[in-house]
Structures are given as structure tokens and as C-alpha cells.
């Protein structure tokens, strides 16, 4: 069935064709971002405006190679947090992170994770990231739905926000749960040799030391403040996508935000679908992805073509601390 494009309103004019720059190595991805009612034909490089649960229901069964999900934390913040100098901490107090109860949050997670499992290919996998506020609840729900945990990965933040009140340890980690569709799905993608090459010849561990987004990577709004309160670093998504997808695979992010998943997918020669309900985030994501002009060198790497004992060939521009 052909995809029906919605009539554009003035406030949705941000959904327009992305002009892909000419370069020696053309991008493998489809070059349009469309505002769609649903997904009946899988193409890629599409941002879908709307509620993630309702839009996930329009995705065909067994059609997605990789899902990366960064759901609301449900942090249950009740009061503002201040530094010792009485300046307010710009924390996660967005409306999308507020739920009436743990039951409401659990029901929400059951709904979107059920759809994710339906649309995931038997050869695909899913990553979900969270903090101590939500990841244990989410992990329990995933197991109850039939997902099979392959690894838990610890993102060790090398530059964490201090615990200003001095009442707890500094929270310096988040957890990623990596799952296959079920215990019987054994043919999921894992690029062991690529990740060993990426990690300077050493097998990559499940602890990833990566800094929070700062400086040029932290996207700012017109007011000079951060555009999204929980923007993830590209290095984190790079490891996720590089390790568990192949060229031209389709990556879906049901909480697209400012488009880190789409940006990294494009730089690695993968296709993406993002679902996002906040138009201001979509505008930022679109502009960000439009400005990408080059693929990363790792987009050329193919698992079966890499010798496990071959010397590394990572460029310094792509280097990061070992994980």
C-alpha cells in the first residue's frame, strides 16, 4: 500500500525533503523525511509525528532490524534541585516524564514494548536504556513479554553531574538492556570482529566509559538552553548501531527526541524511522540530520571481511576511550 502523506499545516512545514549533498561515497539511506499517518511501506529516514504506541501499531510485523529506545525515566521529581550557590539545576522536569503512578508507567511500557516485539524481525534485537528510576521495572516487563536478555551494558559517565546535596553517591551510570526477540531467536546480528577492531584490537566489554553531551555536541535551542534534557552522546549510539546492525539495516527509535539515533544511523549507512510527539524536537532533529554531509569510516566495515587478528585501522577522528 502506498504511503499517504498528510496535508502540511504551517507548523508542520518542517517535514520536507532533505537534500543529500554530493560526495564520493553516497549515503545509502532514503533521502526524505515525511509526516505520515502510518507506515504501510517501509522505506527509512522517516520521522513520524505522533504518539509512539499508536504509531508503532501501524508498523508491519517482523519488519525492523534494530530498535533503540530511550523511554521516559519516570523520575518522580517533586521539588526543584539547587546547587550550593543557589542556582537551579536544569534537570529532567519535562511533562513527558510525568506519570500518575508506577502502575500507569508500567502499563505504558507494556504497551510500547509489546508493539516493539511484534515488529522486530526474528534476526533483530532491541536496546533499551534507563536509569535506576526505571530500568529494573522495564527489564522485568521485557522478560515477562518474552524478550531474551543478551547483555546488560553499563554506560559509565566520565563527567557525571555531582550529587549537590551530598546525600547519595554521585550517579555516574545508566544501564542498557540488549535483547533478542525471544530465547529461540539465535540468529541476531552481533558484529564481534567489527567491535574488536573498533576497540583497538581488544574485545569490547559491557562497561562503556563515555562522557555526557557537552560543548558542540550538546544541541541548544534559540534561548541558548539545551534543546533536550536527556540527549544521548553519539558515541553511545555508535556502539549500539555498529555492533548490532549491518549496512542498510532499518533502525527504529520510538522516542526520537532530537534525533541522535537517526544522525548516527545516517553516518553509519543505515536507514532509520523515528517516532516523536514533540514538534520542537522534530524540527531540531530534521535540521541536525540535514547537516550531515559525510559517512563515518566505520560505515565501510563488513563483519565477514574483517580478520580477527588484523591490525586496527581506526582513524584518530573516530577514536574514543576503550570500553
Q: Where are the domains of the chain?
A: 10-318
pLDDT score at 65: 98
pLDDT score at 225: 73
Tell me how far apart the alpha carbons of residues 54 and 243 are, in angstroms, rounded to a whole number: 29
pLDDT score at 99: 73
pLDDT score at 38: 64
pLDDT score at 90: 54
Q: Which residues of the chain have pLDDT under 70?
A: 1-41, 75-98, 226-228, 309-323
pLDDT score at 217: 78
pLDDT score at 91: 53
Q: What is the second-level CATH architecture of the domain 10-318?
A: 3-Layer(aba) Sandwich (3.40)
Amino acid at each position: 500500500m502506498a504511503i499517504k502523506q498528510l496535508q502540511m499545516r504551517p507548523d508542520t512545514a518542517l517535514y520536507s525533503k532533505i537534500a543529500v549533498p554530493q560526495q564520493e561515497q553516497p549515503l545509502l539511506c532514503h533521502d526524505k523525511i515525511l509526516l505520515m499517518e502510518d507506515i504501510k511501506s517501509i522505506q527509512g529516514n522517516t520521522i513520524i509525528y505522533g504518539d509512539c504506541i499508536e504509531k508503532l501499531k501501524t508498523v508491519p510485523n517482523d519488519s525492523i532490524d534494530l530498535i533503540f529506545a530511550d523511554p521516559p525515566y519516570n523520575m518522580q521529581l517533586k521539588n526543584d534541585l539547587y546547587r550550593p550557590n543557589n542556582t537551579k539545576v536544569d534537570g529532567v522536569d519535562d511533562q513527558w516524564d510525568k506519570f500518575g503512578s508506577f502502575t500507569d508507567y508500567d502499563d505504558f511500557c507494556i504497551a510500547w514494548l509489546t508493539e516493539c516485539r511484534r515488529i522486530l524481525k526474528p534476526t533483530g534485537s532491541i536496546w533499551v536504556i534507563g536509569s535506576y528510576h526505571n530500568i529494573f521495572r522495564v527489564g522485568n516487563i521485557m522478560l515477562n513479554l518474552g524478550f531474551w536478555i543478551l547483555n546488560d551494558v553499563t554506560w559509565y559517565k566520565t563527567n557525571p553531574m555531582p550529587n549537590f546535596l551530598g546525600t547519595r553517591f554521585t550517579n555516574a551510570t545508566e544501564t542498557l538492556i540488549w535483547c533478542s526477540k525471544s530465547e529461540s531467536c539465535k540468529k541476531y546480528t552481533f558484529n564481534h570482529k567489527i567491535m574488536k577492531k573498533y576497540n583497538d584490537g581488544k574485545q569490547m566489554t559491557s562497561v562503556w566509559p563515555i562522557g555526557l553531551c557537552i560543548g558542540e555536541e550538546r544541541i541548544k535551542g534559540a534561548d541558548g538552553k539545551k534543546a533536550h534534557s536527556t540527549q544521548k552522546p553519539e558515541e553511545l549510539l555508535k556502539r549500539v548501531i555498529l555492533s548490532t546492525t549491518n549496512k542498510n539495516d532499518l533502525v527504529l527509535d520510538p522516542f526520537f527526541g532530537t534525533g541522535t539515533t537517526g544522525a548516527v544511523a545516517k553516518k553509519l549507512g543505515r536507514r532509520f524511522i523515528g517516532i516523536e510527539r514533540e514538534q520542537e524536537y522534530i524540527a531540531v532533529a530534521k535540521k541536525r540530520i540535514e547537516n550531515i554531509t559525510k559517512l563515518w569510516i566505520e560505515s565501510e566495515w563488513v563483519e565477514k571481511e574483517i580478520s580477527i587478528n588484523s591490525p586496527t585501522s581506526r582513524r584518530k577522528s573516530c577514536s574514543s576511550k576503550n570500553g
